[in-house]
Amino acid sequence: MIHVLAIITTKPGMRDAVLKEFRANVPNVHAEKGCVEYGPATDADGFSAGAKLGTDTFVVIEKWESMEALKAHAAAPHMAAYAAKTRDMIASRTIHVLSPA
């Protein structure tokens, strides 16, 4: 099992627009061989402990059956299309690829 945390920070005020494009692509990703989990998350309301992501950032929480499945995901045409649609709206992206400890 491979875990991925992708931290996406959009340009100011662009998070909702990027999330709209992201959510439109989710069914394509869920249909990929080896996808176990793939979805966005933002700060939870009502909990004050810990650091906040802020209004321009979201995290993509992913689980893949194997590194090969993750590599195929990264090369998928629908991911290239999503990247092209959102490229000008994203300020930074940090991707953490993790193995269970």
CATH number of the domain within which 28 lies: 3.30.70.100
pLDDT of amino acid 89: 98
Total number of domains in the chain: 1
Question: What pTM, to 2 d.p., does this model score?
Answer: 0.91
Structure confidence by residue, pLDDT tens digits, 28-44: 999 999 999 999 999 98
Residue numbers of the domain that contains 57: 2-43+53-98
On the question of pLDDT at 1 being above 80, the answer is yes
Domain-located, residue 64: yes
Nearest-angstrom CA–CA distance, 1 and 101: 11
Structure confidence by residue, pLDDT tens digits, 55-86: 999 999 999 999 999 999 999 999 999 999 99
Domain-located, residue 92: yes
Domain-located, residue 29: yes
Between vectors from CA 5 to CA 51 and to CA 25, what angle results, nearest 5°? 115
Domain-located, residue 72: yes
Domain-located, residue 48: no
For residue 56, with 0-12 CB atoms within 10 Å meaning exposed, 13-18 middle and 19 or more buried, which class applies? Answer: middle
pLDDT of amino acid 96: 98
pLDDT of amino acid 49: 75
Cβ atoms of 69 and 34 closer than 8 Å: yes
